[in-house]
Amino acid sequence: MNTKRKFIVDAHLDLATNAMTLNRDLTQTVHAIRDNEKYLQLSDYQDRGKGTVALPEMREGNIGLVFTTMISRVSKQGTPLETMTLTGWHSPQQAYANAQCQLHWYRQMEELGELTPITTSLELKNHYEYWISDANSKTKKPIGYILALEGADSIVNLDYLHHYYTQGLRSIGLSHFGPGRYAFGTHSDGSGVTSKGFELLREMNSLNILLDTTHLTDKGFFQALDTFQGNILASHQNCRSLVPGERQFSDDQIKLIIERNGVIGGALDTWMLVPDFRMGIDDPKQMNINLEKLVDHFDHICQLAGSSKNIGIGSDLDGLFGLEQTPYDMDTIADLQKFVSILENRGYSSDDLDNIFYNNWMSLLFRTLD
């Protein structure tokens, strides 16, 4: 059939990081941003001149709803955060102020009609109906966004959790890379949720908010799910059975997410798609890393679940990587539409495609939002 989908949900994009840390004007096209960075000969980040995400291409690909992040970490000098070239703030108050800067960028995009916040089930329903309406097909439609924290360090104390919630925050990942105030994350020493983290999880139980389990250590993952009673997701997470390493989830972790009716978003970072990809060294084309590789991870999760109801897209595109670390058959985020033919050729039904492209994420949100 290979029909372009009218609506796609991407459960993980770091739009504010690209706008406010990499100084990318995401209202421009991907190619204009690339050309500008090449002209300026920027080299402070590995993906300069190689980005894949901007708002025009999101509309071109009918990515009508995204979970988009604020990333603001507290870190002492020398911890793993610095190896990511992301600033680690020296106090929670600084981290909060930086997160508010990112939030105000989202607000500016709202003012321009580029984005619209989704905080309730009614807003979600109305946005979806508006987006797929043929009557509005010639209008530049604002892209809906679910506000998320990737790493909870900027929640200064529990009062700030409720303040964030009133600002529209609807998804929280306790950790990111390295040790955090609320939980240890990727490339940590195996520690789990901190005492403050358990307090935060218990307080989150009183709110209609999602827990994003991505980046938690194995120990932290099971601790968090024992404490948090609400709905869960893994916004950008692949399978350890296919790609060894603690950044991916084991089958036991995936099964627990399935049991909790959670959704796992497949990520497109090449080192998470195939084993032994060396960042900064290997070439996706030479290693034959294409979009098909993500469907291998989808297949594995579907086998564990017995259906396609627990998978979706959480691309993580431009998550401090670009074309040098993206499947070779993708140029911009609009190419998420290529999954239509790939999935059909792999035997996925039209209902399966609906589940993957939007329905699983929408169902999770309808169960969660007021």
Residues 6+ apart with CB under 8 A from 331: 30, 52, 323
Query: Closest Cα to residue 263, out of 17, 9, 34?
Result: 9
Q: In which band, very low, low, confident or very high, does the pLDDT at 81 lie, cut at 50, 70 and 90?
A: very low
Evaluate whether 305 touches 251 at the Cβ level (below 8 Å).
no
- Per the prediction, the chain carries an average pLDDT of 95
- pLDDT at position 183: 96
CA-CA-CA-CA torsion sign (344, 64, 254, 329): positive
- pLDDT at position 138: 62
Residue 31: is its pLDDT beyond 80? yes
Q: What is the 3-state secondary structure (H, E, C) of the chain?
A: CCCCCCCEEEEEECHHHHHHCCCCCCCCCHHHHHHHHHHCCCCCCCCCCCCCCCHHHHHHCCEEEEEEEECCEECCCCCHHHHHCCCEECCHHHHHHHHHHHHHHHHHHHHCCCEEECCCHHHHHHHHHHHHCHHHCCCCCCEEEEEEEECCCCCCCHHHHHHHHHCCEEEEECCCECECCCEEEECCCCCCECHHHHHHHHHHCCCCCEEECCCECHHHHHHHHHHCCCCEEECCCCECCCCCCCCCECHHHHHHHHHCCCEEEECCCHHHCCCCCCCCCCCCCCCCCCCHHHHHHHHHHHHHHCCCCCEEECCCCCCCCCHHHCCCCCCCHHHHHHHHHHHHHCCCCHHHHHHHHHHHHHHHHHHHCC
Residue 286: is its pLDDT beyond 80? yes
In the chain, % of residues over pLDDT 70: 95
Lowest mean pLDDT among 82-91, 180-189, 221-230, 326-335: 82-91
pLDDT digits (tens, 9 = 90+) for 178-210: 899 999 999 887 799 999 999 999 999 999 999
Residue 80: is its pLDDT beyond 50? no
Distances (CA, A) of 331 to 31, 46, 225, 294, 323: 10, 17, 37, 16, 7
Residue 291: is its pLDDT beyond 90? yes
- pLDDT at position 139: 78
CA 325 – CA 25 distance, rounded (Å)? 22
Q: Which has more confidence, 19 or 82?
A: 19
pLDDT digits (tens, 9 = 90+) for 48-75: 999 999 999 999 999 999 999 999 999 8
CA-CA-CA-CA torsion sign (367, 129, 119, 320): positive
pLDDT digits (tens, 9 = 90+) for 123-172: 999 999 999 996 556 679 999 999 999 999 999 999 999 999 999 999 99
CA 335 – CA 340 distance, rounded (Å)? 10
Evaluate whether 66 touches 9 at the Cβ level (below 8 Å).
yes
Distances (CA, A) of 24 to 27, 319, 336: 9, 13, 21
**Span 341-355, mean pLDDT?**
98
Residue 85: is its pLDDT beyond 60? no
Q: In which band, very low, low, confident or very high, does the pLDDT at 294 lie, cut at 50, 70 and 90?
A: very high
- Taking the CA atoms of the chain, what radius of gyration do you get in angstroms? 19
Residue 84: is its pLDDT beyond 60? no
- pLDDT at position 75: 85
Query: At residue 273, what is the residue type?
Result: L
- pLDDT at position 88: 87
Q: In which band, very low, low, confident or very high, does the pLDDT at 350 lie, cut at 50, 70 and 90?
A: very high
- pLDDT at position 224: 98
Evaluate whether 158 touches 200 at the Cβ level (below 8 Å).
yes
Q: In which band, very low, low, confident or very high, does the pLDDT at 82 lie, cut at 50, 70 and 90?
A: very low
- pLDDT at position 173: 98
Structural domains present in the chain: 13-368 (3.20.20.140)
